[in-house]
Each structure stands twice: as structure tokens, then as C-alpha cells.
């Protein structure tokens, strides 16, 4: 492996791991909806509003996040996004 390929390997592995984490969170959201409905005594409509809010955020935040990425750059944008996710959890 030459130096350029080796330098590209680690960021690609990191991005792959991040996609796995985001996919797992998305999958886990759907699995936990019935339990959320039972614990909070929600109707089915109210419980599935959680899923709707989760997916509508991708649509609503697409343009604002693109402006942030233009100003900060891709690497810093990923870093800030991970910090926000960590603070939210």
C-alpha cells in the first residue's frame, strides 16, 4: 500500500463506522416506538409522531446544515455534528 492509499483508508473506515452508528440509531428508533407508547400512554398516532419528527428533521435541516458545512468545512462539520449528538444523548 502506498502512502496516499493508506492515508485515505482511515477516514473511509471512520465514515463507514459513522454510517453504521447512524443506521443503528435509525433502526433503534423504530423498534422502541411501541415501548414509548406504552410508557408514556400515547395513542398510536402520537407515538408515530416521534418517527415522523425524526425523519422530517432530515428534510428541515438540510439547507441550514449545508450553510454551516460551507463555512466550517466537512471535517469540522462532522466533528461539530458528533459533539451535538453527544451533548443530546
pLDDT tens, position by position, 5-18: 667 888 888 889 98
pLDDT confidence of 4, banded at 50, 70, 90? low
Query: Residue 79 and residue 67: Cα distance in Å, rounded?
Result: 16
- What DSSP character marks residue 2? -
The pLDDT of residue 56 is 92
With 0-12 / 13-18 / 19 or more C-beta atoms within 10 angstroms meaning exposed / middle / buried, residue 78 is middle
Give pLDDT tens digits for 15-64: 899 889 888 988 888 888 888 889 999 898 988 898 898 889 889 989 98
Nearest to 50, CA basis, from 63, 62, 39: 39
Phi/psi of residue 2, each to 5°? -85, 175
Amino acid at each position: 500500500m502506498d502512502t496516499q492509499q493508506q492515508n485515505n483508508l482511515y477516514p473511509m473506515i471512520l465514515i463507514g463506522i459513522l454510517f453504521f452508528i447512524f443506521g443503528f440509531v435509525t433502526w433503534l428508533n423504530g423498534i422502541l416506538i411501541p415501548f414509548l407508547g406504552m410508557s408514556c400512554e400515547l395513542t398510536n398516532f402520537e407515538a408515530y409522531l416521534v418517527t415522523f419528527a425524526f425523519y422530517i428533521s432530515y428534510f428541515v435541516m438540510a439547507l441550514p446544515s449545508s450553510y454551516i458545512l460551507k463555512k466550517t468545512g466537512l471535517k469540522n462539520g462532522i466533528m461539530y455534528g458528533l459533539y451535538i449528538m453527544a451533548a443530546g444523548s
